[in-house]
Structure 1
Amino acid sequence: MQGFDPQTILPRIAAQGLERQEIRPGDWFDDDGMLMCGKCGEPRQGMVTVSAPMEGNPENKMTFKATRSCKCDRDKEAAEKQAEQNKKDMERVARLKKASLMDEKLREASFDSFQVTKYNARNLKLCRRYAEAFDEMVSKNQGLIFWGSVGTGKSFAAACIANHLLNRGVPVMMTSLVKLLELMQGGEEKESDIIARMNSAKLVIFDDLGAERNTDYALEKIYNIIDSRYRRKLPMLLTTNLTIDEMKDEEDRRYSRIYDRIFETCYSMQFTGPSWRKKEASRRFTEMEKLFDID
């Protein structure tokens, strides 16, 4: 820069920094007049030598007093940067969860809140392993299908996997095929855009397979959705109240070609045990009976 005189400018900037430097309680000056941190004991001021071309100075160097960061300053700066990064990470996770189409009641599902029983202990372990090894699962295009009767925890287990990945910043979508069909029929978003949005997710979870209407239109759209993931080698996770035999023995070609795609890439896990929904309904009923038992 024309007119830039390092011999004047650099010491001036350093002097301004020294004037603005806060002297904290406990700080002290050493024998050389350098400010020392009263907490960590490291210097907060020191002599700085910089390279600067100057006339009459063959070494092209100059030395002057300037501020410096002690351990306390460095730790504070690192903590502030980490806090800012954490804030950005949380905002990104919030955006991912909002875009996931997940039901509100499942957004807080986690492996830690999973109620372990003799019926689901093995499945919980497998779900956790799948989530922790997800990068490998993606590379192998390995999906899952949870099957079993109503209320056995299939959707909750799927949501645990989804939230584990979302909290790591992995894009996940979790929705029902019924809801997807409603979106396609609603006209607010093009079918191609919906499928493209799903294919931008590392994992898509289709909840409650088999609950959709068995019309030609619905089954054709479902096949296109699942086939799109299949062809792009993107993993999917499905939950269903159907049995494996019902799906494997399906004679209706409209269904069987859907199930063929699923079984080729998805490991099946059966969920058994008493219905959590019935158990929860019974608990709430008992609580209300106690509440209404007024003398």
Structure 2
Amino acid sequence: MATVVPEVEVSCPLCGGSGWRPEAVEDRPTPRVVPCECKQTQQLERRMQRAGIPKRFADRSFDTFRIEHNGDVNDSLSFALSAARRFVREYPMLNKVGLLFHGPCGIGKSHLAVAIVRELLGKNIGATYCNTKDLLQNLRYSFNPISQTSEAELLRGIIDTEVLVLDDLGAERLTDWVQETMYHVINSRYQADLTTLITTNLEYGPPGTEEDVPVSRLSSDQARRATRKETLGDRVGQRIWSRLTEMCRAVGMQGEDQRERLRRR
């Protein structure tokens, strides 16, 4: 019969698990006691969980964001990282305008958005991460009689948070309900002067006219003759697009899909 060895909790080498460690002070014979970094790390991890950051994104930070490919610096990624750092540095005293990261899948848009949330939480600033598709799915589920959470409760937490990340905006097809729900969220935050950060895989641009229809909405024969890609404005509609242009500064990101590159290794 195999012997079961109980797990031993490894204490912090600096504080022994107490949460406090000694720190030497110049010109004083005895050290002072200060909070240990391990407790600060644990507190940040708990805040990130409450902020809705998925476990897969728990290690996303500015330090882990890569701007190089094959030894060369990608200028658009370098600019995006600088814009994200600047936002954290200036918020909220110097700048409350949000950022809208746009670019192809896997380029690092969500990485930067989560890294911003991490930094804000570390400064004791309220921030929430929300995948747009998951939000809409949770709202649909709230209509179920067995749901423990109402639509109003879900929306209140999203609308009222100081800084909100709406990740992957435009991933859902535009129905009347989707459009009205997202407009309610974005317009409510606009009216309350709250900061919103956006990521999207769609082309950054306004809605087209009736004569200027995107490829995705054409027949196969028409699509072969068309050149314009569907824009974020096409997907979310004019009202939401208008609000976003006032609330956010667009930051374009270009390059290779980082997830695909890692899979090829």
Greater RCO structure (CA 8 Å; 6+ sep): 2
1:207 aligns with 2:167: yes
Q: Distance in 2 between matches of 1:169 and 1:112?
A: 20
- Equivalent residue, structure 2, for 1:255: 237
- Equivalent residue, structure 2, for 1:134: 91
Q: CA deviation at 1:90?
A: 4.3
Q: Distance in 2 between matches of 1:155 and 1:82?
A: 32
Q: Distance in 1 between matches of 2:38 and 2:62?
A: 23
Q: Distance in 1 between matches of 2:162 and 2:133?
A: 21
Q: Distance in 2 between matches of 1:223 and 1:250?
A: 20
Aligned residues: 206
Is this contact kept in 2: 1:96–1:171, CA < 8 A?
no
Larger radius of gyration: 1
Provide the secondary structure at the position in 2 that maps to 1:122. helix
Q: Distance in 2 between matches of 1:253 and 1:244?
A: 11
Q: Distance in 2 between matches of 1:93 and 1:214?
A: 36
Per-residue CA deviation, residues 32-84 of structure 1 (Å, 9 max, x unaligned), is: xxxxxxxx9x9xxxxxxxxxxxxxxxxxxxxxxxxxxxx445x3xx31x433x
Q: Distance in 2 between matches of 1:116 and 1:156?
A: 12
Give 1:40-51 correspondences, 5 Å limit. none
1:192 to 152, 158, 162: 152
Is this contact kept in 1: 2:164–2:195, CA < 8 A?
yes
> What letter matches 2:203 in structure 1?
T
Q: Which runs of 4+ in 1 moved over 6 A?
A: 250-254
Q: CA deviation at 1:253?
A: 9.8
2:80 to 101, 123, 128: 123
User: Cα gap change, 1:157/1:253 in structure 2, threshold over 3 Å: closer, same or farther?
Assistant: closer
1:265 aligns with 2:247: yes
Is this contact kept in 2: 1:176–1:206, CA < 8 A?
yes
Q: Distance in 1 between matches of 2:207 and 2:173?
A: 19
- Equivalent residue, structure 2, for 1:234: 194
Q: Distance in 2 between matches of 1:145 and 1:264?
A: 11
Q: Show structure 1 runs of 5+ residues with no match.
A: 1-39, 43-70, 284-295
1:164 aligns with 2:119: yes
Q: Distance in 1 between matches of 2:117 and 2:235?
A: 31
- Equivalent residue, structure 1, for 2:18: none
Q: Show structure 2 runs of 5+ residues with no match.
A: 1-24, 143-147, 211-233
Is this contact kept in 2: 1:142–1:235, CA < 8 A?
yes
Root-mean-square deviation (Å): 2.4
Q: Distance in 2 between matches of 1:220 and 1:186?
A: 17
Is this contact kept in 2: 1:250–1:256, CA < 8 A?
no
> What letter matches 2:168 in structure 1?
D
Is this contact kept in 2: 1:151–1:274, CA < 8 A?
yes
Q: CA deviation at 1:177?
A: 1.3
